[in-house]
Structure 1
Amino acid sequence: MRRRQVLLFLAGAGVIIIGLVAAGWSGGYRLNLTPSEPLGLWRIEVLSREVAVGDLVFICPPANDTFEGARQRGYLRWGSCIGGFAPLIKTVAAIARQRVEIGDQVVIDGRPIEASSVRTRDGKGRVLVPYAGGIVPPGYLFLHSSFESSYDSRYFGPVPDAGILGLARPVFTFDP
């Protein structure tokens, strides 16, 4: 009898947890477990205007060899985007027709971007090849994170703006 009560309790708790996760997911809530932005609970807010420089967005990376290689290196997690990637939380640093220069740091339209040093090796000593720079094409965005070890457009270049899920809004977050 006692064993049956425990099993019923565990089953009920499991159903409640699954229900809460499903409700949160469908409501646009996501957990961020990467240090590029504060850890914790975030919400995807519908973007009802054109994306702008400075917007913090949730964006799905394109399903291509560059991002598959990044996942294999451990830079990206599995998730709900096409190709099985988790959405990224990044700041839009440049939009179409802006010039991006990559040297020791990122320069956009002649202005250096704060906290944008470019590394030649990752935390495990593997070679990182930075983006060559150039004009951001129409329909693309150059993304940035101020976290020094972030994998962002410094390395993968501009990404299609079609991957935007919405603005990233912190709900309950903390910096470790």
Structure 2
Amino acid sequence: MNTRRTGIITFLLGAGIIAVASAKPVMLNTTSSEPEGLYLVVKREPAQVAPGRYVAACPPMSPIIHLGVIRHYLATGTCPDGTVPVLKQVEAVAGEAVHYSAAGIAVDGRLLPNTAPAARDPRGRPLPHYPFGNYVVAPNQVWLLSTFSPLSFDARYFGPVPVADIKAIVRPVWTQR
């Protein structure tokens, strides 16, 4: 048995044990947007979230999300737009200042790593981004980003997300980070 296969089997067995032991739902992240691995659902449909928390959220229905589905940046699922919830970190909350430019996204003056938008996707196709500018996060909205991956499909393309679209707060339990 090869090492990768053994690792996957071990991972899945561990995930099953953790899920049974915790009696809480778990989420498996297999995308490179955030660390791959197992995440424990801490709270479903939260009324508010704090910066730095990982969440599973339905992205807002928009032409860019539709493009993301067509190009397979997002998998199909149960969200109103036809996608699966995305796993991202909350990087900006109500009242915080967001400056978005070709250099990336800065929150309250702090440039976040790996948030510069790509002009083209990995296959060389043009990739539209959310409009550059200065924003103040509106009440009941958040900016969901990945500072882990420069290729993440997140707020740099679809903008802020209503807190009501967050399906769960999750916590990494067993990841490859």
Instruction: Give the TM-score taking structure 2 as reference length.
Output: 0.75
- Within the candidate set 162, 165, 168, 2:164 is matched to 162
Structure 1 residues 64 and 45: alpha-carbon distance in aligned structure 2, compared to 1, 3 A threshold = same
Q: Structure 2 counterpart of 1:33, which letter?
A: T
- Within the candidate set 57, 60, 73, 1:59 is matched to 57
Partner of 1:37: 34
- Is residue 115–residue 150 contact of structure 2 (8 Å, CA) maintained in 1? yes
Larger radius of gyration: 1
Q: Structure 2 counterpart of 1:42, which letter?
A: Y
1:119-147 Cα deviation digits (max 9, x unpaired): 21111111122222322222211111020
Shift of 1:49: 6.9
Where do 1:15-164 residues align within 5 Å?
27-46=24-43, 50-103=48-101, 104-132=103-131, 133=133, 134-146=135-147, 147-164=149-166
- Is residue 64–residue 157 contact of structure 2 (8 Å, CA) maintained in 1? no
Aligned residues: 153
Describe the SS at the equivalent of 1:46: strand
- Is residue 97–residue 136 contact of structure 1 (8 Å, CA) maintained in 2? yes
1:34-57 Cα deviation digits (max 9, x unpaired): 111122332221166731111111
Q: Which runs of 5+ in 1 are unaligned?
A: 1-19
Identity across matched positions, percent: 37
When you count helix as a share of all residues, which structure comes out higher?
1
Describe the SS at the equivalent of 1:114: coil
Instruction: Give the TM-score taking structure 1 as reference length.
Output: 0.76
RMSD: 2.3
Q: Structure 2 counterpart of 1:46, which letter?
A: K
Q: Which runs of 5+ in 2 are unaligned?
A: 1-15
